[in-house]
Amino acid sequence: MREFETPPRNWQSAGNPVAANPNKRNQTMACFTAPLAQAVAIHVAKPAECQKSRNPFVARLGVLQNMLYGGSLLLAIEHVWHGEITWRYPFLTAIADGDVAGMLGEIATVGVGMAFVVTAAWALYVVAAEALSRAAARQKA
């Protein structure tokens, strides 16, 4: 009679950081790097006197930058809390564990999604603020 191997007790948690640590909801590894990269790109690319620009989207780039930098900072604290960022090289535990492909996939899905949602919310804010200021100008005239 063939004997079946009984799985080890911790077979569900083996190699699964979520099951191994119930406090960790999902595998958020470095998702904040995508909005942070966008914030740095805006910081480098935005014109010096952008607040005086006639284009409302350019004039309000500072708002988007504050949302991206601030949100990335607060998310980085969450990653430090979950042990996904360390003080030692290579700073990301996903790289130290050899799960670079999983980390890049997570940045490409969750991270880019975060950057997109923040940018969409900012665009809605600019459109609403512009409509309100035009309505106020029309009432004055």
Q: Rule CB under 8 A: which residues touch other proteins?
A: 18, 23, 25-26, 28, 31-32, 35, 63, 66-75, 77-78, 81, 109-110, 113-114, 117-118, 121
Q: Which is nearer to other proteins, 2 or 25 (CB)?
A: 25
Q: Could you tell me which residues are beta bridge partners of residue 92? A: 85
How far apart are CB 16 and other proteins at their closest, in Å?
12
C-alpha span between 75 and 57 (Å, rounded): 25
Q: Which is nearer to other proteins, 2 or 52 (CB)?
A: 52
Token pair listed for 8? 């080890």
CA angle 118-85-79, nearest 5°? Answer: 45
How far apart are CB 133 and other proteins at their closest, in Å?
15
C-alpha span between 69 and 3 (Å, rounded): 58
Q: Which is nearer to other proteins, 24 or 53 (CB)?
A: 24
